Structure 1
Amino acid sequence: MDYSRNWLFISELEQQKLAEIKLLIVGCGIGGVVAEQALRTGIRHITIADGDTVEASNLNRQNFTARDLGKSKAETIGHRLTNIDSTANVNIIPMYLRGDELNELIPSHDIVVNTIDFDAPEFPLVHKICERHGKTEIFPINLGFGSGMTILNKTTPGWLEHYQVEAHTEIKEAILQHLLHSGVIKDYLVNSARRYYQSQVEYDSQLAISSSISASMVVGAIVSMVKGEQIPKFPNFQYVDVMAPIII
């Protein structure tokens, strides 16, 4: 991969540091978009894990095409990355990671992007393992026409600890309420949340633009780490929304 066009914003030394990072992406929804942006920015050691297959409802926001329907998400994203750069170190794991696999994989990686389903017990487990081994966890969440993101490490509280909930199934509600009552979320999202709770649908509404912003925030945070910049950590979230542009 030729990263020469990055020169004005990423120094040669920073580019080398990015190339040395070992990135584990758990989940290939948002994670598949993260993986491509990470590779194009300079992260060359990427492990992608997901046991799901591509469905038609994924195509509005995830990194797949109609030709991928029915195929393994992890394998499809892996092939996409190697088609971009065949020299990159891409490790494909076409399965859902449980406790044993997470305990084995996380110690050998530097950063974990956690896009595991909220209802899975493995979601809070990622932080516990990262904390134990001094690794960094990045969590992105699609929000309408924008995204939220937070970073957890050994200095931050965990999900269950901070929100003071007993079960992993309560974390999603706690995060959403945290964001909705932050005072910065746009009114349209607050109104959408009311409709969401009233509808009681089995699936979330997510947009392609949000997945792209989520991926950009994750990769941007990794670049900031490489540059040695201070980044807000959990329980603080970063929030970006194209429906709330800054006018200059």
Structure 2
Amino acid sequence: MSLSKGLPPHMRHHRQQLIPGWRQDRISHARLGIVGDGPYPASFFLAAASALGARRFLIICPELHEPFVTLAQTLEPAVEWIHLRGWLTHPAPAALLTPCSALVDFSQLGLTNKILFNTARQHCIPLITVRFLNAPCKSGFRFWSYSPGNETALIHAMVSERSLSAKAWQDAATAMAAAGLALEEIKRVLFGQPHTTVPVDYVRPNPRTSFDNFRVAVVGAGALGNFAAATLALCGCRHLTLFDADRVDVTNLNRQIFFARDVGSPKAPALAHRLNTFFAVQAQGIPQAVDDYTDLSPFDAILDCVDNFETRRLLSLRAQQEGKILISGGTGPDRGQVVAYHPHHSRHTPAQLLGLDRILSRRQREGGKATSHKRLVKERAVHHDTRWKPPLENTAKEGASCLLQADPSVVMSNQIMGALMADALRRILSGEPPGLIFYESMELHGVRLMSVTDTEAQL
């Protein structure tokens, strides 16, 4: 039995319902059609959409990744789906998709792309297309939405070159990020916001490294930590150590997808257990925060998934002093950033690039008062969700008064940026530093991804 049963419906989704204009009813009443060739992107989308509160799915795909199916069922007990096992290669099964509120095309088969395009056009169904880009030296994805009137401009980009012999999407990091972008676009469609009609590309050189005997410290086991650690595990990183002093709260479950059965438990050991169970890795969870005295010498790299600037600045300093690779991530409800630091190649630490010393010094001058999310964004630093953690037994009775102290937070930005944090580590180990990666979902102009060098960020 899921711990979500018996709780008021608003509690698990309260953090996203704080976002202005949020319409949870449109998510819970939507029927989503998902089409794919392989297990990764469709399964990642299913689990995150279930955390968001979507309940009805029609999936056409040869297979799904079982751990993420289990997560979907646990996160949303009312979830219902029909799974047709196979490839969409004939228009007849596509008729089952016509009642859907929106369609997501993860397929790499040109014939499937054409069938879905015609179905969407004939029945006026929004279509989100995500294409795996795979060349001999580079790979990544392309993402956009179909809307009436832009068929001519995008038809060549919408249809894969190969009709039936395309390779399934097997890269977990790009599949995870692309699934998060597709879910963000679904939210935009359901809320009546403008579609992303300009293709969004994420392309980088193919990783040339393995994680054999590579040891990673993931500092923060919340939303970013969930997705970054899971993506690393799926990419072959077996030795993970998770640091977090916090406990799982009901309001975490709209974005921290591994914790549906762990409300009240320490986050780090709970996440380590799920990773070990699902992905056969050797993760360890330490229910403590990282401070000046934490021994980081056993680790080859650090992933900064924390939600406060003090710890983020400390991790930058420790990485610089001890010669550690550091991947720092941050998210807001509609944006995110990844900053990669290599001690031998990077000019600036994440704290220096984001101006954290300036921000924290100003806080001290102002008497230590918390800085608003909007103001921090203007300081070019994305503020990860500030945690509100009442004791579990007080959650129901204290309810709204405490919940309103929390910041808005949602699954998509954490899924996208957590996956790109894992990919940034692979890129830096392959000798191709990613610089800074920024994501934003703008109300009027759709979704954007952008990369800049650390020199450009200083200008």
Query: TM-score, normalised on structure 1?
Result: 0.73
- Tell me if the contact between 2:316 and 2:349 (Cα under 8 Å) persists in the aligned partners: no
- Tell me if the contact between 2:327 and 2:425 (Cα under 8 Å) persists in the aligned partners: no
**Hey, what does 1:238 align to over in structure 2?**
437
Q: Which of 407, 419, 442 in structure 2 is aligned with 1:204?
A: 407
- Alpha-carbon distance, 1:52 to partner: 0.8
Distance 1:123 1:57, change over 3 A: same
- Tell me if the contact between 1:54 and 1:64 (Cα under 8 Å) persists in the aligned partners: no
Q: Percent of aligned pairs with the same residue?
A: 20
**Hey, what does 2:306 align to over in structure 1?**
116
Q: Which amino acid aligns with 1:179?
A: R
- Alpha-carbon distance, 1:43 to partner: 1.1
- Tell me if the contact between 2:259 and 2:270 (Cα under 8 Å) persists in the aligned partners: no
- Alpha-carbon distance, 1:128 to partner: 1.0
SS in 1 for 2:293: helix
Quote the RMSD (CA, aligned, Å): 3.1
SS in 2 for 1:19: coil
Whole-Å Cα distance in 1 between the matches of residues 354 and 290 of structure 2?
24
Deviates more, 1:37-46 or 1:166-175: 166-175
**More helix by proportion, 1 or 2?**
1
Q: Which amino acid aligns with 2:332?
A: L
Deviation beyond 4 Å, 4+ runs, structure 1: 168-175
Which residues in structure 2 correspond to 1:159-238 (within 5 Å)?
Answer: 159=351, 163=355, 164-165=357-358, 167=360, 170=363, 176-179=377-380, 202-232=405-435, 237-238=436-437
Q: Per-residue CA shift, 1:65-93, capped at 9, x if unaligned?
A: 4321101111110111111233x221221
Structure 2's unaligned 5+ residue stretches are 1-169, 173-204, 364-369, 382-403, 450-459
Deviates more, 1:133-142 or 1:152-161: 152-161
Distance 1:175 1:153, change over 3 A: farther
Distance 1:133 1:65, change over 3 A: closer
Q: Which of 222, 225, 235 in structure 2 is aligned with 1:31?
A: 225
Structure 1's unaligned 5+ residue stretches are 181-200
**Hey, what does 1:46 align to over in structure 2?**
240
SS in 2 for 1:212: helix
Distance 1:21 1:52, change over 3 A: same
- Tell me if the contact between 1:160 and 1:168 (Cα under 8 Å) persists in the aligned partners: no
The total of aligned residue pairs comes to 210
**Hey, what does 2:29 align to over in structure 1?**
none
Distance 1:230 1:33, change over 3 A: closer
- Alpha-carbon distance, 1:123 to partner: 2.6
- Alpha-carbon distance, 1:209 to partner: 0.7
Whole-Å Cα distance in 1 between the matches of residues 250 and 273 of structure 2?
19
- Alpha-carbon distance, 1:126 to partner: 1.0
Distance 1:160 1:202, change over 3 A: farther
Q: Which of 275, 291, 297 in structure 2 is aligned with 1:81?
A: 275
Q: Per-residue CA shift, 1:121-157, capped at 9, x if unaligned?
A: 3331111111011112111111334421112343314
- Tell me if the contact between 1:58 and 1:64 (Cα under 8 Å) persists in the aligned partners: no
- Tell me if the contact between 1:139 and 1:150 (Cα under 8 Å) persists in the aligned partners: yes
Residue 259 of structure 2 corresponds to residue 70 of structure 1: no
Q: Which amino acid aligns with 1:221?
A: A
Q: Which amino acid aligns with 1:143?
A: G
Residue 280 of structure 2 corresponds to residue 95 of structure 1: no
- Alpha-carbon distance, 1:98 to partner: 2.1
Whole-Å Cα distance in 2 between the matches of residues 46 and 33 of structure 1?
13
Query: TM-score, normalised on structure 2?
Result: 0.41
Whole-Å Cα distance in 2 between the matches of residues 146 and 41 of structure 1?
24
Whole-Å Cα distance in 1 between the matches of residues 218 and 361 of structure 2?
20
Structure of greater Rg: 2
**Hey, what does 2:348 align to over in structure 1?**
156
